[in-house]
Chain A
Amino acid sequence: MDNFIFFLTSGLCIGAVYALIALGYTLVYGIIKLINFAHGEFYMVGAYAGFGIYLVLPSGTPAIFAIPLIIISSGIAGIIIAVLTEQIAYKPIRKSGRLAALLTAIGVSFLLQNLASFINKANPLQYSSDKVGSIGEICQRSVSIGGGGIKIIQFVYIPVTLALTLILWYIVMKTNFGRAMRAVSQDPDAAALMGINIDSVIRKTFLLGGLMAGIAGALIGFHSVIEPMMGFMPGLKAFIAAVVGGIGSIPGAVLGGLIIGIVENMVLFCNVPSGYKDVAAFVVLILVLLVRPQGILGRNTREKV
Chain B
Amino acid sequence: MSWYELHSALGNIGIFAILALSLNVICGMTGLLQLGQAGFFAIGAYAAGLTSIYLTFPELGVLNFAISAAAAIIAAGIFSIILGIPCLRLKGDYLAITTLGFGEITRLVLVNLQFPGGKMYPGEKIGGATGIKFTEFPGDLWPAYPNYSAEFASLWFTWMLVIITCILLINIKKSSFGRAMMCIREDEIAAQAMGINISKYKMMAFLLSACIAGFAGALFFHKELAIAPGKFNLICSIEILLMIVLGGLGSFSGALTGAVVLGITPYILRHVEICGYRLGEYQQLMYAVLLIILIRLAPNGIFGMNEIPRWWKSSVISRRSPADGK
Contact = CB atoms under 8 A, between A and B. Distances in A.
B105 A108 contact: no
Given A278-B108, A285-B101, A290-B86, A104 B295 contact: yes
Contacts of B287: 110
Interface in B90-120: 90, 92-94, 96-98, 101-102, 104-105, 108-109, 111-112
Nearest to A239: B97
A236 B104 contact: yes
Contact of B105 (A89, A104, A114, A283): A283
B297 to A, nearest CB: 10
Interface residues of A, number: 40
A96 B94 contact: no
Contacts of B189: 303, 305
Given A35-B93, A273-B112, A107 B292 contact: yes
A98 B284 CA distance: 24
B89 A293 contact: yes
Interface in A79-105: 89, 92-93, 96-100, 102-104
A243 interface: yes
A35 B94 CA distance: 10
Given A104-B291, A278-B108, A289 B94 contact: yes
A99 B33 contact: yes
B1 interface: no
Given A93-B295, A103-B241, A106-B238, A114 B108 contact: no
Contacts of B249: 99
B231 to A, nearest CB: 16
B289 interface: yes
Interface in A51-100: 89, 92-93, 96-100
A225 interface: no
Contacts, number: 101
B131 interface: no
Interface string B279-311: 000101101110110011001000000000000
A160 B295 CA distance: 38
Contacts of A115: 285
A279 B109 contact: yes
Given A111-B289, A114-B288, A35 B97 contact: yes
A214 B96 CA distance: 26
Contacts of A275: 108, 111-112
A173 interface: no
A104 B33 CA distance: 15
B255 interface: no
Given A102-B33, A285-B101, A286-B98, A114 B285 contact: yes
B92 A98 contact: yes
A276 interface: yes
Given A104-B296, A236-B104, A111 B288 contact: yes
10 contacts: A35-B96, A93-B295, A99-B245, A102-B33, A110-B287, A240-B101, A275-B111, A279-B104, A289-B86, A290-B89
Top-3 shortest CB links A-B: A107-B291, A110-B288, A111-B288
Interface of B: 33, 86, 89-90, 92-94, 96-98, 101-102, 104-105, 108-109, 111-112, 189, 235, 238, 241-242, 245, 249, 282, 284-285, 287-289, 291-292, 295-296, 299
Interface of A: 33, 35, 89, 92-93, 96-100, 102-104, 106-111, 113-115, 236, 239-240, 243, 273, 275-276, 278-279, 282-283, 285-286, 289-290, 293, 303, 305
